[in-house]
Amino acid sequence: MTGYLVRRVLELVPTALVIIAASFALVRLAPGSPFSSEKEISPEIRRQLEAKYGFDRPLPEQFVRYVRNLLQGDLGLSTKYPQRSVNEIIATGFPVTLSLAAVALVWSLLVGMTAGIIGAVRQNTVWDHSAMMAALVGISVPSFVLGPLLVLLFSLRLQMLPPAGWGDWRHLILPGLTLGTIYAASIARLTRGGMLEVIRSDYIRTARAKGLAERLVITRHMLRGGLLPVVSYLGPAIASMLTGSVVVEKIFNLPGIGPYFVDAAFNRDYFLVMGIVLLYAFFLLLMNLVVDLLYGLLDPRIDHA
Amino acid sequence: MATTTDTVLEVCDLRTHFHTDDGLVKAVDGVSFSVRRGETLGLVGESGSGKSVACLSALRLVPTPPAAHPSGVIRFAGKDLLTLPERDLERLRGNRLAMIFQDPLTALNPYLSVGRQLTEVLEVHEGATPAAARRAAIEMLTRVGIPAAGQRIDQYPHQFSGGMRQRVMIAMALLCGPEVLFADEPTTALDVTIQAQILDLIGELQASLGTAVVLVTHDLGVVAGTADRVAVMYAGRIVEEGTTAEVFANPLHPYTQGLLASMPRIDTPSRQRLAAIPGLPPDLGQLPSGCPFHPRCQQAGDRCRQAYPEVVIASPTHRAACWETEAVS
Ligand SMILES: Nc1ncnc2c1ncn2[C@@H]1O[C@H](COP(=O)(O)OP(=O)(O)O)[C@@H](O)[C@H]1O
Ligand SMILES: [Mg+2]
């Protein structure tokens, strides 16, 4: 198991290098430059600025320097916010984004799995049809519609939750629901499909033949196999919740990392864009690894020796 | 001869019908049989004749839908299993009425250790503590011939061979010492060399526990060595029933005669082509009128095409449903 883990982590190194090189190239080859919008600056100041960030050096040299700094955990300086390092910006914004994704994840799992299990166990009943109809709506409604609707209901009408901004955990509820709903819908469908496959299997008939009560048949015998498709979906889903938080953070005016990412891309804030891209990539790789390990724990036929 | 008070399970006029897209399939259509304490009843017939559905119906394990709730009466321990509340039936399943299946790989849960799948039976039916259940499970695994059961109990089904898996299934079914065991083709998925071992094992445990066994098979050879009595099924009905000796010595129904003729024997050269029953097993959704066997029957006459045969009684224990056979005994 430890050997497997070490091997998997080592395998990530070339992947990470490719991601770093590709994102560096893409960011640098994009038209424009960090200082092109500020027309007023003189060529003199511009040269000084470029020297400060090392943009006057040849590209290969800049890349090597970037990777060297990266290895020391230094993501460089922002060109838009010169007094702040990329590390600082991520350190303030990312915890908010991460908490938002966590709320969205819990909500989507709770709702999605419940709806999917009910749909499968009560297949072709009113329960099943309503759950799957709700899932269809959940998948179809975009967050810039759902978000304002939730604010209208829970903040303006019921006055239960703050409509926007940042403070304590209560500010995360509505954004979390907005972000999580679309995933809840996908998880509901995956759960239902996985469970239905298991329900028809021979070993469920055996479990019933043993005299187990239906509740035990479901919880002990069906869930494991039935939820495996959801587990494989979680890796990409979590990564996509992190990146997908951009819109939700804008709607609810949350100080997460998302809005910085959009601004940085518009401003050609080279190091900030790179930093956030690499952060997302890191999480995607991490989540896929975690999911593989989880899968191995759930399915004894997979041997991570 | 055993008295009727020995009868542990009595199935009367069992009917299980499926409502499928292709219409009504009468998988089991008026089946009656009974088993006595410690006895083995062989339930024989071609694939698709309704043997599995008959057994599953007795435990109410047929999925509804597509099946309608089985009709008839199944008497066990003074109750009718077909009308028993679900909760009461759960207390009997896996406890006093057990079942083992054809494919032990798919019939065992791949995600749970073998031990867990055994101990839960004892926990549910006997309220055993985890430690006591584990001890009993190891003991039972040893008894069915699993070497080093103390270690293997923590392994998963995929770590066992086919024969060993079926032993695990048998251990699981017999943990609570059931009065009736339905064994649905328990050796069909196994190597020939292992088949005899498994049948012997079932026989041994049956003798020591006094369990009645309904042994389902399409192979008369299996029945010859193990069953006390034989019931032959065709198209959802029992067409002949008798002691094994009676049925083998004096098969009344042309279908039984055909099955016996197509049985490989030691006294005929193996090269010789077996006399298979002509034609195909019937489509249960579109049965012919009269005797469902008549399209394949060389002795069929006009009566056979018109009405289902009356019962011919050859002895108090031997009967068949055929218009053409003579009840000589
Ligand atoms: N779940 C089901 N849905 C529809 N038809 C079924 C189902 N299970 C069994 N049947 C039908 O019942 C008939 C008897 O099947 P079965 O009892 O499995 O036969 P056997 O065990 O004798 O080979 C078959 O014709 C089959 O098509
Ligand atoms: Mg069968």
Which residues in A have their CB inside 8 Å of a CB on B? 201-203, 205-213, 216, 220-221, 224-225, 298-301
Q: In terms of Cα–Cα distance, which of A122, A221, A113, A140 is closest to B108?
A: A221
**Long-range pairs for B81-89 at CB < 8 Å and ≥24 separation?**
B87/A213, B89/B59, B89/B60
Give chain A positions within 8 Å (CB) of B172: 210
pTM above 0.80, yes or no: yes
pLDDT greater than 50 at residue B1: no
pLDDT for A110: 94
B59 close contact with A: CB closer than 8 A: yes
What total number of domains does chain A contain? 1
3-state secondary structure of A25: helix
Give the whole-angstrom CA distance, residue B173 versus residue B183.
Answer: 10
Residues of B in contact with A221 (CB under 8 A): 109, 112
Share of chain B above pLDDT 90, in %: 56
**φ, ψ dihedrals at B215, nearest 5°:** -100, 110
Compute the average pLDDT of residues B244-251.
92
Ligand nearest to the CA of B44: 1
pLDDT tens-place string over residues A88-118 = 888 888 999 999 999 999 999 999 999 999 9
* Structure confidence at residue B16 (pLDDT): 94
Of B100-114, B201-215, B291-305, the one with minimum mean pLDDT is B291-305
For residue B47 and ligand 1, the question of a CB distance below 6 A is answered with: yes
Rounded to a whole number, what is the distance in Å from the CA of A194 to chain B's nearest CA?
Answer: 14
What integer pLDDT is reported at residue A37 of this predicted model?
A: 62
pLDDT tens-digit map of A144-173: 888 888 878 877 788 777 877 787 878 888
Residue nearest to atom 18 of ligand 1 (CA): B52
Q: What is the pLDDT of residue B179?
A: 93
Q: Is the CB of B49 inside a 6 Å radius of any atom of ligand 1?
A: yes
Residue A209 has its nearest CB partner, among B94, B106, B112, at B94
Cross-strand partners of B36: B7
Residue B135 pLDDT > 80:
yes
Tokens encoding B274: 């077996």
Q: How is chain B split into domains, by residue range?
A: 105-175
| Higher pLDDT pick, B298 / B266 | B298
**A208-223 pLDDT tens trace:** 999 999 999 999 999 9
What mean pLDDT, rounded, does chain A reach? 86
Give the model's pLDDT for residue A254.
87
HEC-encoded secondary structure of chain B: CCCHHHEEEEEEEEEEEEEECCEEEEEEEEEEEEEECCCEEEEECCCCCCHHHHHHHHCCCCCCCCECCCEEEEEECCEECCCCCHHHHHHHECCCEEEECCCHHHHCCCCCCHHHHHHHHHHHHHCCCHHHHHHHHHHHHHHCCCCCHHHHCCCCHHHCCHHHHHHHHHHHHHCCCCCEEEEECCCCCCCHHHHHHHHHHHHHHHHHHCCEEEEEECCHHHHHHHCCEEEEEECCEEEEEEEHHHHHHCCCCHHHHHHHHCCCCCCCCCCCCCCCCCCCCCCCCCCCCCCCCHHHCCCCCHHHHHCCCCEEEEECCEEEECCCCCCCC
- In this structure, the number of other CB atoms found within 10 A of the CB of residue B289 comes to 11
pLDDT over 70 for what percent of chain B? 94
Q: Which two tokens stand for residue A265?
A: 């891309």
> For a pocket test of ligand 1, which of B14, B21, B52, B102 has the largest count of ligand atoms closer than 8 A to its C-beta?
B52
Does residue B35 have its Cβ closer than 6 Å to ligand 1?
no
The pLDDT of residue B178: 93
What are the pLDDT digits (tens) for B55-95? 999 999 998 888 888 899 999 988 999 999 999 999 999 99
Query: CB B93 to CB A211 under 8 A?
Result: yes
In a domain, A218, yes or no: yes
pLDDT at B2 over 60: no
B58 touches chain A (CB under 8 A): no
Contact criterion met (CB below 8 Å) for B31 and B70:
no
* Ligand nearest to the CA of residue B103, numbered in listed order: 2
Nearest to A20 by CA among A65, A53, A57: A65
Q: Does ipTM surpass 0.85 in this model?
A: yes
Average pLDDT, chain B: 88
| CB-CB neighbors (< 8 A) of A207 in chain B | 109
Instruction: Answer yes or no: do B94 and A220 touch at CB < 8 A.
Output: no
On whether residue A154 sits in a domain, the answer given is yes
CB B18 within 8 A of CB B11: no
pLDDT digits (tens, 9 = 90+) for A183-198: 999 999 999 999 999 9
For position B271, what pLDDT does the model report? 53
Residue B104 is predicted with a pLDDT of: 87
Inter-chain CB proximity A209 and B125 less than 8 Å: no
Tokens of residue A304, six digits? 């991570």
Q: What pLDDT is attached to residue B269?
A: 55
Range of the domain at A163: 97-265
Query: What are the tokens at A180?
Result: 């999580």
Q: Give the pLDDT confidence score for residue A80 in this predicted structure.
A: 80
Q: Tens of pLDDT along A115-148?
A: 999 999 888 889 888 888 888 887 888 888 888 8
**pLDDT reading at B232 higher than 90:** yes
Position B270 scores a pLDDT of 53
pLDDT band at A39 (very low <50, low <70, confident <90, very high): low
- Kindly state if the Cβ of B227 falls inside 6 Å of ligand 1: no
Domain assignment present for A286: no
Report CA-CA distances (Å) from A123 to A130, B4, B243.
Answer: 11, 44, 45
Query: Of the candidates B56, B109, B124, which has its C-beta nearest A203's C-beta?
Result: B109
Sheet of B180-184: strand order equals B97-100, B180-184, B212-217, B40-44, B229-234, B237-243, B318-321, B311-315
Which pLDDT value is given to residue A143? 81
Peptide bond into B130 cis (omega under 30): no
Q: Which residues contact B306 (CB under 8 A, 6 or more apart)?
A: B289, B290
Q: What is the mean pLDDT of residues A238-261?
A: 86
Q: Which CATH number fits the domain that encloses residue A251?
A: 1.10.3720.10
- Say whether pLDDT at B264 is over 80: no
Q: Is A260 helix (H, G, I), strand (E, B) or coil?
A: helix
Chain A nearest-CA distance from B65, in A, is 11
For an interface test with A, the pick among B108, B109, B125 (most A C-beta atoms closer than 10 Å) comes out as B109
d(CA B229, CA B36): 10
Q: Mean pLDDT throughout A70-92?
A: 85
Q: Judge whether B293 is closer than 8 Å to chain A, CB to CB.
A: no
Cα radius of gyration rounded to whole Å, chain B: 20
Whether B209 and B176 have beta carbons less than 8 Å apart is answered as no
pLDDT > 90? residue A61: no
The answer to whether A203 contacts B113, with C-beta atoms less than 8 Å apart, is no
